[in-house]
Amino acid sequence: MQIIRARDESDNLLLEGFLFSGVTLREVRKRSRHLVRSIQRKSSDGIDVFIVKPVIKPARRPSIHLILFLATIVTTILAGAMMEGVNPIKDFDQLWKGIPFSVTLMLILGVHELGHFLTAKKHHVDATLPYFIPAPTFIGTFGAFIKMRSPVRNRLALVEIGAAGPLAGFIVALPALFIGLSLSTVTDIANAGGISLGDSLLMKIATAILYPGLTEAQDIMLHPIAFAAWIGMLVTMLNLLPIGQLDGGHIAFALLGDWYPKVAYGSLAAILILGIFSVNWIVWAALVFFLIRVKHPPIIEDHAPLSRREIILGVITLAIFVLTFIPMPFRT
């Protein structure tokens, strides 16, 4: 379908355009059945007008979002406190030590999802408030996400919605990384225990700026704020993979057109290859394949040409992906 003009009318979308040769309205309905409830066609002055009723799922009450948000604050504070050597049962009065980690991580995740939410609203896409996921992990959470409950209209909307989260989260994580690194301590590698974190290009640059005299025999014990920023950068990088309904998947689908499936499956294959060197990538590849999926749902105006704004956003997010990419996130 070629869309010439689109406008809102009550709960409907009015699309002016035409079907490509050999394409029937029945085929369009079948292809877009997950996005729209019905499509009707009328003719006006020689131009077809398609009356589209989008699929809009009933909104959940905000209470579930608030409950999950508060629960994730609790779990991330507990995780941050345990990083500082606090026993949550015996040293309950010391739980405040987990606040710097919790505040930093929740701020990065929250701003990331708020970027998606506000941009979705800007483009009249029905989106939920963020769902934060509390978890009994060493960072206290499995992250956060929003759900889009109505179709995205065009490429610009999809690129902006996909890019808004990583850009917003990165803007918060970058200063947090420098602040946290400045509060961190240098130690001998022989005395460093626990999990060794992989370095991104950005981490190497920040370390070189703040600790120019660091030797190969030394390592940095990250302050909780720095560790939360590192997690935020890792989440940003993983979300920018050009696969499925990840943020990078939205951007790649909008910018690459027919090349998207090749890039998406190629990226999944690359993740599996990286899994030879780090099992973390195998876990992420399984989550992507079985939960997030590789295929991306269509948009309404899928034949509109790319604009300079969309290309610039794509280049910026690619640069952020390169800066935050970590070949081996965790090493024991």
- Can you give the pTM of this predicted structure? 0.81
Backbone angles phi, psi at 243, to 5 degrees: -135, 135
From 201, 315, 197, select the one nearest 255 (Cα to Cα). 315
Distance CA(104)–CA(79), nearest Å, equals 13
Position 193 scores a pLDDT of: 63
Summary mean pLDDT of the chain: 86
Per-position pLDDT tens, the chain of length 332: 555 556 666 666 656 666 666 666 676 666 666 666 566 667 666 566 666 666 555 555 668 999 999 999 999 999 999 999 999 889 889 999 999 999 999 999 999 999 999 999 999 888 999 999 999 989 999 999 999 888 888 889 999 999 999 999 999 999 999 999 999 999 887 666 667 888 999 999 999 999 998 888 888 999 999 999 999 999 999 999 999 989 999 999 999 988 999 999 999 999 999 988 888 889 888 888 887 788 888 887 777 778 899 999 999 999 999 999 998 888 65
Q: Which residues contact 289 (CB under 8 A, 6 or more apart)?
A: 268
Position 283 scores a pLDDT of: 87
Burial 97-135 (b: 16+ CB within 10 A, else e): bbebbbbbbbbbbbbbbbbbbebbeeeebbbbbbbbbbb
